[in-house]
Structure formats: structure tokens, C-alpha cells
A = this chain, B = another copy of it.
Amino acid sequence: MVYFDSAATSWPKPPEVWQAMEHFIKEVGASPGRAGHRRTVEANQIVDETRQLLASLFNINDPERIVFTLNATDALNMAIKGLMSQGEHVITSSMEHNSVTRPLHTLESHGVQVTKIKCDRQGKIDLNQVEQAIRPNTRAIVLTHASNVVGTIMPVQDIGRIAAKHNIHFVLDAAQTAGILNIDVKRLNVSVLTFPGHKGLMGPQGTGGLFIREDVNLRTLREGGTGSGSETPTQPNIMPEKYESGTLNAVGIAGLGAGLKFLRRVGKEKIHQHEMGLTNRFIKGAESIGGLRIYGPLKDEERVPVVSFSLEGYKAGQVGDRLDKEFDIGCRAGLHCAPDAHHTLGTFENKLVRFSFSYFNTEAEVDYALKALRQIAAERPVTVLPAGR
């Protein structure tokens, strides 16, 4: 199969990811932080090493400010619900994934005020609108680093500057950028960074996390056994245990550590260059396909390797189905769990087909997909839907 769905979860993983997991499950096995015996010590070391690799990647001083979670959604819920209180105000955008919009929607029913900045048709946010939306009770800006639908990169450096200027928190959702773009939490003035482990960081599913800056105190969403400070009925106020209740997915974290080492060995820049090369090849090749329209910005520096398009005469789902069944190309057609973004782009009705590229995709695969789309476009149903649909 040609796999163009790495924005959902990257595949394949580098071989060392599975090797690290296999080693963990066969030779280590124990729960980190849960006893003093040799195996738990080794499990601890593996988890700590992964924390250090993440800290190094994101320019975080203290690895213990990094917390492992089930996935990025879990991390976003912990960040957003842990930070916001009744009567406070939060600013977000119309390009967010449901992992941001839905927790915020829940908070609205608990007296949190939410301002959603409407982005333009390319998914770009207006910094003036962000700054003008700030109120005396504004607590945070919660923003995606790049759209999971059309890849638009947000002006995070400017957002960080605005947040610092007004002394409000900046929660950055790096679901589509961790391991893909440079993220320096200090330079960007990020208060809380949330990330998946299984996309650009090349780890397995079931991994993700968040960085919580030293001056940020989140209420816990989940309490329980922490393996240390066990005497008290309250959660111990030590990092990272405060936010890591229950048994960690240590086998997954072992795999994530191997993914991070792969990133470091091959080089983030080289990987990014390859992925953007494929993105550009696809965009350029698609220009000559009649009825195919690419959404989002076209310039390299304005996007990540996630490309969405429509094909005249088709609903997105029909294209996705044909790509799968006739050409064995796996992509994602639909709303991409981001209905607001599709409303913003004007594609809520017909939806979009999304291709997302990884380091392991090839130019030949892109060319094959272009050929497939050219054929599907040529076979457009006779009864053409009204334009714009």
C-alpha cells in the first residue's frame, strides 16, 4: 500500500522503534517507578532517556517538566482543563482540531469564555485580531502550530510574543509539527506544549505528552498511584509524578525513545527536506489535473507536508474510496476531526481528501498517486455537481 496518512499516525516506523519495544517487552517488562528491583530501574532509565531526548528536541531545561500521556488529545485536555477556571477567558482559532475545540466547548458550559478567531481561507490567523481579543480576564491562547487539514503554519513566534507582552499563557498544540518543525519552547514563549508520540516523532501509538513550564500549575485531571509520595490522599506535588498516575505505557515510551534517536541520527532537517520535496512534487504535479484544487498556502515556509484537495465532480469520500480500492493508496478523506477548519476553508459540505507524507514515502509513490488522480479526474461522473460543491 502507498501510505499517505502520516498526519494521522506515521507509518512505517523506523526499524529501531519496534526493536526497542521488543527489547522492553521481552527483557525489561517492569513498571517504571513502581519498585526498586533491577527491572524497574532499567524501565526508569528508558523512560528517563526518552524524557531527555524530548527535552533536548524542544529546548526544555528540566526533562521532569515533561509528562507522558495516552495521546496528544489527553495532553490537550490536561492542559486546557487544568489551566482554565470559571470566569476566565481563552483565545483560540477557527483552525483547531476537535481535541482543542471540544474541551473548550465543555469548559464554556462551566463558565469559561472562549473567543475563536476566524482565520482566512488559507487557514491564516490575523495577529491584530488575536491582540484585540485580549481582555483583562484572558488567561491563555490555545493554538495549533499547523493545521492538520491544510498544513498552514501559524505565526507562533508572534503569538508567543503577544502572550508574553500581555502576561497570558500560550498553549501550543504541536500535533502536526513535533519532530517536523523546529520547536524551541523558550524562543516561542510556550507555557504548555502538547505533542503526540506517534506522528512526526516516529514512536508508536499510545504515546504523547506535554511540557509544563516551571511557572505553570495545572490542576490534575487524573489522580492515582504515582509510585512515590504514596502516603498522602492528595496527589504528590512533584514532577512528573503529579500528572502521571497509573502505569505508564513504558513499552510505547521505549519505542518513542528509539524514534527520537532516529530523528537525531538522520537529522530533522533532512527528513523535513525530503517530506517537503514530496509535497512540492505533488502540488506541482496536481496543477495539471483538471478539476483538482489544492487548499491552503502553497509556499514551503508556510506549510507542513500535509496537503488537502478537492476534485471537481466528486465528494471527497468518493475519491478516498477509489484511491483505496482501485489504487491501494491510503489517505484520509473527510473532516479530519476539524469541522471548524472546514467551515473556515469553505469545504465543510464536500470535505477534502488529505495526503500527508513521511520520510519513508518516495517520489515514485507521489507520481503513482498523481497518475491515479489524473485517471479518477478523467472519469468524473457525467452528472457534475454544482460548482463549489
Contact surface of A with B, Cβ cutoff 8 Å:
1, 3, 5, 8-9, 11-13, 17-18, 21-22, 25-26, 29-31, 34-40, 69-74, 76-77, 97-99, 101-103, 105-106, 196, 198, 204-208, 220-227, 230-235, 245-252, 255, 317, 320-321, 323-324, 328-340, 348
Contact = CB atoms under 8 A, between A and B. Distances in A.
Contact of A328 (B38, B320, B331, B332): B38
B247 A198 contact: yes
B332 A35 contact: yes
Contacts of A330: 30, 35, 37-40
B22 A9 contact: no
Most B C-beta atoms less than 10 A away, residue of A76, A102, A106 = A102
Contacts of A72: 246-247
Contact of A35 (B98, B331, B340): B331
Contact of A224 (B99, B220, B224, B250): B99
A334 B35 contact: yes
9 contacts: A8-B31, A11-B39, A37-B331, A72-B247, A73-B222, A73-B224, A73-B246, A206-B206, A231-B348
A70 B222 CA distance: 11
Pairs of residues from A and B, 7 with the lowest C-beta to C-beta distance, nearest first: A206-B249, A73-B246, A225-B337, A11-B29, A37-B330, A99-B224, A102-B223
